[in-house]
Structures are given as C-alpha cells and as structure tokens.
Amino acid sequence: MRIVIQRVKSASVDVNGSTVGKIQRGLLLLAGIHETDSKEEVDWCCRKIRKLRIFEDEDGKMNRSVTDIGGGLLVISQFTLYGNTQKGNRPSFIEAAKPDLAEPLYDYMVDTLKKDFDGLVETGTFGAMMDVSLINDGPVTLVMER
C-alpha cells in the first residue's frame, strides 16, 4: 500500500461538478493499493495515519497528530501511485490492484478510519474521474508505504 499524505488547511473532491467530499484542516490521503495488499496493510496504515505527528504544537514542532488537532481526513483512491515509469514513455500500472481487489480494500480502509477516528472522514468516488482541490499546509507531504 502506498499513501501520499498531505497536511492541508482544506481539501475537497468533486465528481461531475458536484462536491462529494470536503474537509477543513487535516490530511488529504491519496491511497494506492498494490496487487498483493490485504487488510493487514490497511490496518497498519490506518493506525499510523491516526497517530502520525505532523502538526505543529505551540512551540512550532511537529508534535501533534490529526487526532490531537481534531482535524479531518479526505481519502481518495489513486491507482496511479503504482505507475511504473522505468521503461518507455507510458506508465505501466501492472502492480496496481485490479478494481475487484482494490475497491473492497479501499472501502475497508474508509470503514476502519471511520470506526477508529473521532474526526470527520470524507471520500472521493472509487474509479471516478475526480477533481481534487487543496490548500497544502506547510507544505507537508509524506509518502507512506507498507
């Protein structure tokens, strides 16, 4: 599993001109699912996301989690995170999980976050063309792999 984590002041996602997910301060999560991923990887990532200390405390140090600040999560599925650009000019997505595996794991991730996280959890639409808008805070952007 590969997740791009962006600390945001706000973020939203539109599908066909309508907003389907929106948060204020928190984390935008672009989630790519590998063909070998299982619930084990999802569980590990969800635990880590909730506890990751990337928000500043009163001394300006990254010492607070999204849970600590009462922030939100916007979770977007993004198979292109597994695009391989080593050969040729068109990326290969052979390592990305096919939709019949990826969608249930994405849904499981969202359900796990909603169950274990007290803040707002919003999503995009799996498999849809989405317009994602954000105001990156920092900017702080991390890549998590499991």
- pLDDT value of residue 5: 98
- pLDDT value of residue 71: 98
Active site residues: 80
**CA pair distance 89, 52, nearest whole angstrom:** 35
Which tokens is 3 given? 């997740």
The residue segments making up the domain with residue 60 are 2-145
Residue with tokens 């994602």: 132
Taking phi first (over 0 means left), then psi (-120 to 50 degrees means alpha), and beta for anything else, what does residue 42 get? alpha
Q: Residue-wise over 76-88: b if at least 16 C-beta within 10 A, else e? A: bbbbebbeeeeee
Which tokens is 45 given? 């990532």
Residue with tokens 């948060």: 23
CA angle (105 as vertex; 128, 46 as ends), nearest 5: 105
| CATH number reported for the structural domain that contains residue 84 in this entry | 3.50.80.10
Q: Which residues pair with 28 in a beta bridge?
A: 6, 74
Structural domains of the chain, count: 1
Which tokens is 102 given? 């990826």
Q: What is the DSSP string of 56-104?
A: E-TTSSEEE-HHHHT-EEEEEE-GGGG-B-SSSSS-B-TTBPPHHHHHH
- pLDDT value of residue 69: 97
- pLDDT value of residue 3: 98
Block means of pLDDT (10 residues each) for the chain, 146 residues, are 98 97 98 97 97 96 97 97 94 96 98 95 97 97 96
- pLDDT value of residue 143: 98
Of the candidates 68, 55, 47, the one whose C-alpha atom is nearest the C-alpha of residue 8 is 55
